Amino acid sequence: MKFAEGQPFSDPEAAASKLIELAKNIEAVQDGRIHIEKINAPFLSKSGCKATGPEFGIGIRYAIKRGWLEVHESGTYVRLVSPGDNLMSP
């Protein structure tokens, strides 16, 4: 009997942590902006994290709430709030 694998990114903190990890590895463009699709694609891809859209959403919202990310009003960019700091500290 096969059981479905757990959803590791259904936990908001786990999803946000992975998104921050992905964002840290992307070269920012003007003014520290990171195109959202550059973290969205590897997070959702079958060869990447294999997460779902709702998991991406809860991760982004959690990261914003914790002050780790800012999202541009257009929704096309994110910015690490303090790239040199330990963003995962409480």
Task: Please list the pLDDT of the chain residue by residue as tens digits (90 residues).
Answer: 454 556 778 899 999 999 999 999 999 988 899 999 999 999 999 877 889 999 999 999 999 999 999 999 998 999 998 654 555 554
87 part of a folded domain:
no
Tell me the CA distances in angstroms from 38 to 28, 46, 50, one per residue in order.
Answer: 10, 15, 15
**Which residue has 């994110």 as its token pair?**
78
89 part of a folded domain:
no
User: What domain count does the chain have?
Assistant: 1
CATH number where 38 lies: 1.10.10
pTM of the model: 0.81
